[in-house]
A and B are shown apart, each in its own frame.
Chain A
Amino acid sequence: MKFCLYRYRPESGEKPFMQEVELDIDPAGKMLLDALIAIKAQDETLSLRRSCREGVCGSDAVNVNGKNRLACITPLSELTEPIEVRPLPGLPVIRDLVVDMEPFYRQYRSVKPWLVNDDPEPEVERLQSPQDRALLDGAYECILCACCTTACPSFWWNPEKFVGPAGLLQAYRFIADSRDEATPARLDNLEDPYRLYRCRGIMNCVDACPKGLNPTAAIGRIKALLVKRRV
């Protein structure tokens, strides 16, 4: 199979370039990550991140033929050759397919992605009704792979100001949590022309999410809560 890989070695002083690679691999039942690992076995200078190899850790997000996806759950058989693999767009490249995730994590941290509850701790766990728990479905499954946020043009233009789809989905996950007591502060944190309202609903995030989540819908619910609070 033919591959076209983005290569960048900062210490060489060279500009990044696309490297054509031929790999003898049977695509049946194999994922893109299998191919990348086989290529790395041929040429150990290729750098990439991977860990769980089953779509749970979110570390091997790359741009494949123009779309952000997880290499480990992308079947080789559904890709057209030459398979172009690039690092995630919109984040600084450290080397080859490895990007600096810090701008993404900084926005994630800014929404305080933890439960805020100052009540005394109960004897057992903080209980939720099945209905309250159901509100978290579609919001808690995010693995922070950054496929969505780095597919969002608003994040490309303002990565230091716009929270991005992943961060906003996580913000909503805690707003929707019946055990969380900080909803007004969370809405204050988000009500901003840049932090929230850079989202204009183009839904690249929904298209990119390898877990099938819908950040645009969560952003819509945050906006609805802000409108309710205001009018």
Chain B
Amino acid sequence: MKTTTGAHTGTGTWLLQRATAVMLALALPLLAAYFLAALPLDFAGWQALFAPPWLRVLMLLTATALALHAWVGVRDICMDYAHPTGLRLALYLAVIVTLAGSMAWLAVILFDAALGRTA
């Protein structure tokens, strides 16, 4: 009889979701407070808000945590409901492309101006 065994994976993914949740719980209120304190905003004020490099780094780190957290969550949903392997792989790919693309786009928005170019 064939014996059942695990894939020996899953713990890292689970830990990643927990770790990114902690990061988001700390960073999101901080960022929200920072932006809300600056209200009301015009365009110049909005640009000034993003001037400090630490803020842009924090924004990028938070967004990375959000993307990783979302990846684990959406992957879980796909594993629950999308049972044909081909469909699940296609969905994974679509999610990865969307998340990685959004991250790259955000990086360009945040750091292009810093490099002296206009977006």
Show the binding face of A for B, using Cβ within 8 Å: 110, 153-154, 157-158, 188-198, 200, 223, 226-227, 230-231
A191 touches B9 (CB 8 A): yes
A45 to chain B, nearest CB (A): 36
In the assembled complex, B86 has its CB within 8 A of some CB on chain A: no
Q: How far is the CA of A200 from the CA of B73 in the complex (A)?
A: 10
Residues of A within 8 A of B6 (CB): 188-192, 195-196
A207 to chain B, nearest CB (A): 20
- Residue with the greatest number of chain A CB neighbours at <10 A, chosen from B6, B13, B15, B81: B6
A230 touches B11 (CB 8 A): yes
Known contacts A110-B4, A189-B5, A196 near B10 by CB under 8 Å: yes
Residues of B within 8 A of A196 (CB): 6, 10
**Can you name 9 A-B residue pairings with CB atoms under 8 Å?**
A110-B4, A188-B5, A189-B6, A192-B8, A195-B6, A223-B11, A230-B11, A230-B15, A231-B15
Residue in chain B with minimal CB distance to A161: B79
Known contacts A110-B4, A188-B5, A189-B5, A158 near B80 by CB under 8 Å: yes
Q: How far is the CA of A144 from the CA of B93 in the complex (A)?
A: 40
Residues of B within 8 A of A197 (CB): 10-11, 13-14
Residues of A within 8 A of B4 (CB): 110, 189, 195
B15 touches A191 (CB 8 A): no
Residues of B within 8 A of A110 (CB): 4
Show the binding face of B for A, using Cβ within 8 Å: 4-15, 76, 79-81
Q: How far is the CA of A197 from the CA of B12 in the complex (A)?
A: 11
Q: CB within 8 A of B79: which of A189, A194, A223, A231? A: A194
B11 touches A226 (CB 8 A): yes
Known contacts A154-B80, A194-B79, A198-B79, A223 near B7 by CB under 8 Å: no
Q: CB within 8 A of A193: which of B5, B10, B15, B81? A: B10
Residues of B within 8 A of A153 (CB): 80
Q: How far is the CA of A198 from the CA of B76 in the complex (A)?
A: 8
Residues of A within 8 A of B8 (CB): 188, 191-192
Residues of B within 8 A of A227 (CB): 11, 15
Q: How far is the CA of A230 from the CA of B15 in the complex (A)?
A: 10
Q: How far is the CA of A200 from the CA of B10 in the complex (A)?
A: 13
B66 to chain A, nearest CB (A): 19
Residues of A within 8 A of B10 (CB): 191-193, 196-197
B9 touches A198 (CB 8 A): no
Residues of B within 8 A of A157 (CB): 80-81
Q: How far is the CA of A223 from the CA of B10 in the complex (A)?
A: 10
Residues of A within 8 A of B76 (CB): 200
Residues of B within 8 A of A190 (CB): 6
B74 to chain A, nearest CB (A): 13
Residues of B within 8 A of A231 (CB): 15
B80 touches A192 (CB 8 A): no
B9 touches A192 (CB 8 A): yes
Q: CB within 8 A of B11: which of A158, A191, A198? A: A191
A106 to chain B, nearest CB (A): 9
Residues of A within 8 A of B80 (CB): 153-154, 157-158, 198
